[in-house]
């Protein structure tokens, strides 16, 4: 039976791991170390670790490249590696370990959006199509030859979390279908073209600050891309708010201000108006814009 080493970290990697465990022998799961989370700073296990332990799979959490190699060597021979959002660049000496190398399930139609945040960057750019691609990993950044890919339309109001979940499920089905053919040689990877290449840089703090958006379209697209997490942010009357959903509004407040229009909050952004449909004040729960307005003692203010 084909033996696999699986590398992944977030929730989006779980569908692929779950599907692979039903069809193959997943001999080792590699994921990132536990990280401090929340205000308490309590170390929290990655979602893949929790899933793998529940499935009684062997788990390792190397923190260095040397530990990564040692973990694989200690567990014996593998036929192939599968990587889904692991969060670490793999060195050449590691890539040569399994007999058939490593495959990567990437959440974009390569070569568009190579890099760390393909779903978010696609939504920020206003793309209407996305997809998943399975490649054989080489030494470049998502530059390896393609085994298979499948496109999907991005739904009009779909946010980053929703699109990621849909692509994760699609990718899980795709990797299981293509893996046997790759291993028996009937599926031959094809080199990527460089035409249309774009890069999906990691999301920064500046990306999340949407009050200075140059246009309403940019504001709404970034809110969609970053919802529900890490979420776009706006300072409203000096308090940080996560913006979870927003849409264009016919009223146009003065840029840098907010007003109440028909019982909902509307921001002036880039020459247009944006309704805050759902938002979360710092330290509080998420609420609709209308509920947020009802809890305020004023009907206008400033944003930054």
Confidence at residue 94, expressed as pLDDT on a 0 to 100 scale:
85
Confidence at residue 298, expressed as pLDDT on a 0 to 100 scale:
84
Over the stretch 30-77, which tens digit does the pLDDT of each residue have?
Answer: 999 998 877 777 889 999 999 999 999 999 999 998 899 899 888 888
CATH number assigned to the domain covering 205-302: 3.10.25.10
Delimit the domains of the chain by residue range. Answer: 3-200, 205-302
Q: Three-state secondary structure along the chain?
A: CCEEEEEECCHHHHHHHHHHHHHCEEEEEECCCCEEECCCCEEECCHHHHHHHHCCCCEECCCCHHHHHHHHHHHCCCCEEEEECCCCCCCHHHHCCCCCCEEEEECCCCCCCEECCHHHHHHHCCCCEEEEEEEECCCCCCCCCEEEEEEEECCCCCCHHHHHHHHHHHHHHHHHHHHHHHHHCCCCCECCCCCCCCEECCCCHHHHECCCCCCHHHHHHHHHHHCCCCCEEEEECCEEEEEEEEEEECCCCCCCEEEEECCEEEEEECCEEEEEEEEEECCCCCEEHHHHHHCCCCCEEEEC
Looking at CATH, the fold of the domain delimited by 3-200 is given as: Rossmann fold (3.40.50)
Over the stretch 70-120, which tens digit does the pLDDT of each residue have?
Answer: 998 888 889 999 999 999 888 888 888 888 999 999 999 999 999 999 999
């Amino acid at each position: 039976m084909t033996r696999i080493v699986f590398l992944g970290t977030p929730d989006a990697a779980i569908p692929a791991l779950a599907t692979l465990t039903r069809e193959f022998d997943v001999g080792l799961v590699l994921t990132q170390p536990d990280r401090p989370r929340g205000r308490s700073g309590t170390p929290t296990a990655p979602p893949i670790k929790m899933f793998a332990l529940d499935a009684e799979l062997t788990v390792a959490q190397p923190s260095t490249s040397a530990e990564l190699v040692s973990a694989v060597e200690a567990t014996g021979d593998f036929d192939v590696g599968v990587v889904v959002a692991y969060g670490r660049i793999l060195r050449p000496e590691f890539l040569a370990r399994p007999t058939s190398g490593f495959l990567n399930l990437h959440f974009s139609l390569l070569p568009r959006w190579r890099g760390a945040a393909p779903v978010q960057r696609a939504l920020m750019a206003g793309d209407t199509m996305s997809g998943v691609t399975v490649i054989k990993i080489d030494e470049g950044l998502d530059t390896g030859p393609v085994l298979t890919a499948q496109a999907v339309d991005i739904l009009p109001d779909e946010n980053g979390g929703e699109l990621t979940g849909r692509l994760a499920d699609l990718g899980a089905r795709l990797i299981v279908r293509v893996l046997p053919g790759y291993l028996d040689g009937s599926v031959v990877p094809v080199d990527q073209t460089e035409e249309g290449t774009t890069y999906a840089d990691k999301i920064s703090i500046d990306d999340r600050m949407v009050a200075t958006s140059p246009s309403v379209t940019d504001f709404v697209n970034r809110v969609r891309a970053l919802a529900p997490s890490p979420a776009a942010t706006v300072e409203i009357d000096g308090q940080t708010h996560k913006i979870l959903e927003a849409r264009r509004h016919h009223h146009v407040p003065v840029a840098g201000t907010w007003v109440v229009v028909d019982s909902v909050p509307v921001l002036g952004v880039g020459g247009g108006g944006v309704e805050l449909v759902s938002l979360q004040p710092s330290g509080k729960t998420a609420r609709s814009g209308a509920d947020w307005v009802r809890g305020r003692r004023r009907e206008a203010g400033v944003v930054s």
